[in-house]
Structure 1
Amino acid sequence: MTLFTGTAVAVTTPFKEGEVDYTTFEKHIEFLIDNGMQSIFVNGTTGEGSTLTEEEKLELVRLAVRVSDGRVPIVVGTGTNNTAASIEHSLKVKEADADAIMLITPYYNKTNQRGLLAHFTAIAEAVQLPVVLYNVPARTNMTIEPETIKILAEHPYIVALKDATGDMEYLKQVRAIVSTDFTLYSGNDDSIIPFYERGGDGVISVVANAVPAEFQAIYETYASDPQEAERLFNKVSPLIDALGVDVNPMPIKALVTELGFANGEVRLPLVPLEEEDSKVIHEAYQAYKGEA
């Protein structure tokens, strides 16, 4: 099963005086779908899912599902380092009519490869929704080994991998041993061209919160004209680099504020960008708009 190909967005969560700004969230979802996003990922790292209450998370899912109205799949980050809690929340997300869930590797009380097999399989079998595995060793300090992915990919509900390793050799190994029905998405905006070159099926993007149509155009162009796709990527690359000025999602929150889809607020332990860093992002965005 393929949830989507092309560009999905790990959507930000706007706040207003400490509360979730649901009205602005709805407007942002509509903007993203209208501008070519193939899927919306809710309550992930970029959406500050770890600082949202359960009811806030569920309301964001309900809103995303309602706004999408079947136009694109809504995928929800429900993975934690507690298998039972992940199952419980995933079942509530299923009741809210999400199309799929994304499961990060356990963190802090990280496990081994046998534990990963048991953890992901238990959730998939209990919830019975399509599962996107999320491999982001920079945040969790562990990885899903290719042979583990091969076994997991045989499960009927485990359908895709978000690969945020940035390691093209890892991608090559995984692509070689899983079925073509198992979908591989980049979790890194800065390496989508080599990812597509090695058989990747799309990207779950941060920068697409602000430039959705432009990032989808890179994917669509790559199939027929890789050189032109690389030229398009090179135009947006300085903006992607600027988002590395501080820890995600603080920089993208500053960028979407320029578009009216946030007001710069984040929840502790995150803090708003310092003024000079916000300036870096502002200037990169203005330069990109001038080129686009």
Structure 2
Amino acid sequence: MASLKRLQGLTAATITPMTPDGEINLSVIGQYVDYLVKEQGVKNVFVNGTTGEGLALSTQERKQLAEEWVTKGKNKLDHVIIHVGALSLPEAKELAKHAAAIGASGIAGIAPFFFKPTNKDTLVAFLREVASEAPGIPFYYYHIPPLTGVKIRVEELLDGIKEQIPTFQGVKFSDTDLLDFAQCVKNHKEQFVLLYGVDEHLLSALAMGASGAVGSTYNYLGKKNNLMLEAFAKQDLALAQQYQVLVLHRLKQS
């Protein structure tokens, strides 16, 4: 069931907890949810993405994690976004259909990155097939060219995409091309959610007009980043800069 709230603010890209023998550890997901909400002030999650090593997991493992996050997050989390991207189109479609069936807030997908799409039309066709399996929930494009090698500009991709993918809701923009991101904001912010995915550059993205952010560090630095968002919203740039520098220092130490 899709959330009625617009996805904004911080979204934690969740890790996949494992047992010592290499099995996924579903038993701690409930504690994980409570920790994010109570200790970090983060009420949105992005499951089975890069941080969660989703592409290294089996389809069954990805489904189990998705189910557990949706179940344990009910009435606690605002959004549970399930990443369903895969090299295999049938696998991505299967994961999308499953995410919709279990009540995920939305789904996200990356570009296929072995046989890469070389133009917008090919990429949109792939994403359309995936999104069509979950027609009742929002679809987000996960743009991460440093890993996929697919460098089709997002601003170009967004132009007319709603006609091709009616459920298209926005982008997780995990790249440092702030010119492309700025063009997305300029031309599409009213229509789409624009979530920045490079944690170290969050303040820069906020200045460009980001709707929110998705990242791994919001698992443990959510509170500090929320304070930065609050300072920025109050136009206290000096304080926002202090929090950004503090976060960068913590990242270097970890």
TM-score, with normalisation over the residues of structure 1?
0.78
Contact 1:185 1:203 (C-alpha < 8 Å) held by counterparts: yes
Which residue matches 1:176? Answer: 186
Written as runs of structure 1 = structure 2, the 5 A alignment for 1:220-231 is 220-224=230-234, 225-231=236-242
Any idea what SS the aligned residue of 1:232 has?
helix
1:9 is the counterpart of 2:15: no
Q: What corresponds to 1:232 in structure 2?
A: 243
Matched, 1:210 2:217: no
Contact 1:2–1:183 under 8 Å retained in 2: no
> In 2, distance between residues paired with 1:110 and 1:67?
36
Aligned equivalents of 1:5, 1:117: Cα separation in 2: 24
Counterpart in the other structure of 1:51: 56
Count of matched residue pairs: 243
Partner of 1:163: 173
Q: Give 1:179 shift.
A: 4.5
1:103 and 2:109 correspond: yes
Q: Tell me by how many angstroms 1:202 deviates.
A: 0.9
Question: Aligned residue for 1:116?
Answer: 123
Q: 1:200 to 1:179 in 2, by over 3 A?
A: closer
Contact 1:105 1:143 survives alignment (8 Å): no
Q: Distance in 1 between matches of 2:161 and 2:65?
A: 29
Whether the aligned pair in 2 keeps the contact of 1:83 and 1:119 (CA below 8 Å) is yes
Report matched runs for 1:20-99 at 5 Å: 20-34=24-38, 35-70=40-75, 71-99=77-105
Identity of aligned residues (%): 22
1:57, 1:118 → 2: CA distance? 24
- Check conservation: 2:55, 2:86, Cα contact below 8 A: no
Q: Secondary structure at the match of 1:19?
A: coil
**Aligned-pair RMSD on alpha carbons?**
1.7
AA aligned to 1:143 is K
Q: Offset at 1:124?
A: 1.9
Residue 2 of structure 1, CA deviation: 6.2
Q: Would you say the 8 A contact 2:59–2:91 is kept in 1? A: no
Code of the residue aligned with 2:188 in structure 1: it is V
2: CA distance between counterparts of 1:67 and 1:209? 16
Q: Whole-Å Cα distance in 2 between the matches of residues 125 and 2 of structure 1?
A: 22
Question: Which secondary structure state, in structure 1, belongs to the residue aligned with residue 170 of structure 2?
Answer: strand
2:157 pairs, out of 148, 153, 160, with 148
* CA deviation vs aligned residue, 1:158-180 (integer Å, no higher than 9, x gap): 11111111111111111122251
Distance 1:222 1:212, change over 3 A: same
More deviation in 193-202 or 226-235? 226-235
Q: 1:153 to 1:214 in 2, by over 3 A?
A: farther
Change beyond 3 A, Cα 1:23–1:62: same
Evaluate the alpha carbon distance shift between residue 13 and residue 166 of structure 1 in structure 2; reply closer, same or farther with a 3 A threshold.
same
User: Structure 2 length normalisation: TM-score?
Assistant: 0.89
Contact persistence 1:2–1:159 (CA under 8 A): no
One-letter code aligned to 2:178: M
Relative to structure 2, which stretch is displaced further, 184-193 or 144-153?
144-153
Kept after mapping to 1: 8 A contact 2:142/2:173 = yes
SS of the counterpart of 1:134? strand
Counterpart-to-counterpart distance in 1, 2:134 and 2:180: 29
Letter in 1 for 2:121: R
Q: Where do residues 268-279 of structure 1 align in structure 2 (5 Å cutoff)?
A: none
Question: Displaced runs of 4+ in structure 1, greater than 4 A?
Answer: none
After superposition, the C-alpha distances for 1:224-257 in whole angstroms (9 at most, x for unaligned) are 02221111111111222x2xxxxxxxxxxxxxxx
Displacement of 1:121 in angstroms is 1.7
Pairwise CA distance, 1:83: 2.3
Matched, 1:131 2:139: yes
- Contact 1:41–1:76 under 8 Å retained in 2: yes
Contact conserved, 2:140 with 2:171, CA < 8 A, in 1? Answer: yes
1:183: Cα distance to partner? 0.8
